[in-house]
Amino acid sequence: MNRCSWSTKNDRLMQYHDLEWGVPILESNRLFECFALEIFQAGLNWLTVLQRRQALRIAFSEFDPLRLSSYSPDEIQQVIKDPTVIRNARKIQAIFHNADVVTQLPMTFSDYIWHFVDFKPIRCPEILFNSNKAQELLAKRIVRQMKQDGFVFIGRKNIYAFVQAVGLINDHEVACFRYHDLAVL
């Protein structure tokens, strides 16, 4: 069975690829989780994030922005000191800040994210994104708007990885079995 080349390095990556990566996510809290995980991934190996994901879910109240926005400074410090999570204070503070931003949006986080692709996944990235320039333009547009709306710790690379992971675009390699599975959704 053909898979995206990045996913064949170990079983955990393969399972993530086969079951999650690129599958459209519409539920706001799950989208926020994926957004937060991409922030944690910056400068790290994705496998490290996957290995810590369950601990991160516990420490970050299942990535519920409403609950996170009510954390006290002392509770945030407890998360920063938690040895089971990725202990980067800037990233952790960014997650809490971004949760506050999400709670202030005039729409759900899902609607906010999906509006960037007119509420339907881009199904033919090999045609639309056959150059790095097109990928950069999409990511730049999203980053520009998100920064304007108050989000922090975002850039072209982690936002593009986010839109790939949550299915805004079907960026599986064309030979990958998931590319064709997701093309019919």
Beta strands in 61-172 (DSSP E): none
**According to CATH, what is the number of the domain 10-17+24-183?**
1.10.340.30
Cα–Cα distance, 127 to 179 (Å, whole number):
14
Is 6 designated active site?
A: no
The pTM of this model reads 0.93
A 10 A CB-CB count for 165 gives 23
Read off the pLDDT band of 131 (50, 70, 90): low
A 10 A CB-CB count for 6 gives 11
Among the residue ranges 40-49, 116-125, 145-154, 174-183, the one predicted with the least confidence is: 116-125
34 annotated to a ligand binding site:
no
124 annotated to a ligand binding site:
no
Task: Quick: pLDDT tens for 80-94.
Answer: 999 999 999 999 999
Task: Quick: pLDDT tens for 149-184.
Answer: 999 999 999 999 999 999 998 888 888 999 888 876
Structure confidence at residue 91 (pLDDT): 98
- Active-site entry in 33, 38, 112, 160: 38
pLDDT at 15 over 80: yes
Read off the pLDDT band of 124 (50, 70, 90): low
Is 46 designated active site?
A: yes
Rg for the chain, CA atoms, rounded: 16
- Active-site entry in 21, 33, 46, 112: 46
Structure confidence at residue 157 (pLDDT): 92
**Which of 35, 76, 39 minimizes the C-alpha distance to 153?**
39
Six-digit token string for 38:
């991409």
pLDDT at 134 over 80: no
Q: Which residues pair with 169 in a beta bridge?
A: 122
Is 20 designated active site?
A: no
